[in-house]
Amino acid sequence: MALHIHEACVLLLVILGLVTSAAISHEDYPADEGDQTSSNDNLIFDDYRGKGCVDDSGFVYKLGERFFPGHSNCPCVCALDGPVCDQPECPKIHPKCTKVEHNGCCPECKEVKNFCEYHGKHYKILEEFKPSPCEWCRCEPSNEVHCVVADCAVPECVNPVYEPEQCCPVCKNGPNCFAGTTIIPAGIEVKVDECNICHCHNGDWWKPAQCSKRECQGKQTV
């Protein structure tokens, strides 16, 4: 009797073990994170080494095929070890370039500044102009303006005047000088009063006149 009971217990344990094993599926034991990542990577990123090249947008190119990657205007050739791209030494852009295009592998200047700017105005290359009566300027090929300011000579008179559109003062009445408070012309002797005859210094118009006394001619009394 005891033997039958022992056999019944063993049979019951076996049945419970089978039921438990059948109830537990593979989904209850997730795979390691590393295994999942490796599996996903293989599905998303195919290995094209030795077979082709992939650009930034995911487009595949055959070996030997020429293509332009999305981040560059320089062409590439698909090789066994990956894309081989041109990297030329591009010429320097002219410092006066006003329009640059980037359609090719190297930037290209399409328009160079061919004028000068001076005080808000534009002038052609080699054009001459006068911003003021005393300035003479020219637009140089370097797009720079070079100016010369007139150096006025000392006027040969004590009462020079400025004429419109003229830089330097002019002596409208010719050279002269002061004899006291009187202005006398240069080059001649001038009797300034009954007793004094004066003349200007030759070349030194700013100096007072040189005067000499003569016999005074007073009024005769009867």
For the segment 81-128, what is each residue's pLDDT rounded down to a tens digit? 888 887 778 888 877 787 888 777 888 888 878 889 899 999 999 999
Domain CATH code at residue 123 = 2.10.70
Domain count across the chain: 2
Amino acid in the structure at residue 69: P
Q: By the 8 A CB rule, do 161 and 155 touch? A: no
Q: By the 8 A CB rule, do 84 and 77 touch? A: yes
pLDDT score for 44: 39
Q: Note whether 119 and 168 are same-domain residues.
A: no
Q: By the 8 A CB rule, do 84 and 71 touch? A: no
| pLDDT tier at 7, thresholds 50, 70, 90 | low
Closest CA to 108 of 92, 96, 95: 92
| pLDDT tier at 9, thresholds 50, 70, 90 | low
pLDDT score for 145: 94
Residue ending a domain, among 149, 175, 191, is 149
DSSP 8-state code for residue 219:
P
What single string gives the DSSP state of each residue in 80-123?
A: TTEEEE----PPPPPTTEEEEE-SSSS-EEEEE--EEEETTEEE
Q: Note whether 166 and 190 are same-domain residues.
A: yes
pLDDT score for 152: 87
Q: Could you tell me if residue 95 is inside a domain?
A: no
Choice among 18-22, 103-107, 142-146, 174-178 with the minimum mean pLDDT: 18-22
Q: Note whether 171 and 195 are same-domain residues.
A: yes
Tell me the C-alpha distance between 214 and 175, whole Å. Answer: 25
pLDDT score for 47: 55
Q: Could you tell me if residue 74 is inside a domain?
A: no
The pair of structure tokens assigned to 37 is 């990542």
Q: Could you tell me if residue 194 is inside a domain?
A: yes
Residue 79 has pLDDT above 90, yes or no: no
Residue 205 has pLDDT above 90, yes or no: no
When computed from its CA atoms, the radius of gyration of the chain, rounded to whole angstroms, is 53
Choice among 46-60, 89-103, 115-129, 201-215 with the minimum mean pLDDT: 46-60
Residue ending a domain, among 149, 174, 202, is 149
Average pLDDT score over residue span 72-89 = 82
Q: Note whether 209 and 158 are same-domain residues.
A: yes
Q: Note whether 173 and 202 are same-domain residues.
A: yes
| Domain, as residue range, for 132 | 115-149
Average pLDDT score over residue span 178-203 = 87
Q: By the 8 A CB rule, do 67 and 78 touch? A: yes
Q: Could you tell me if residue 205 is inside a domain?
A: yes
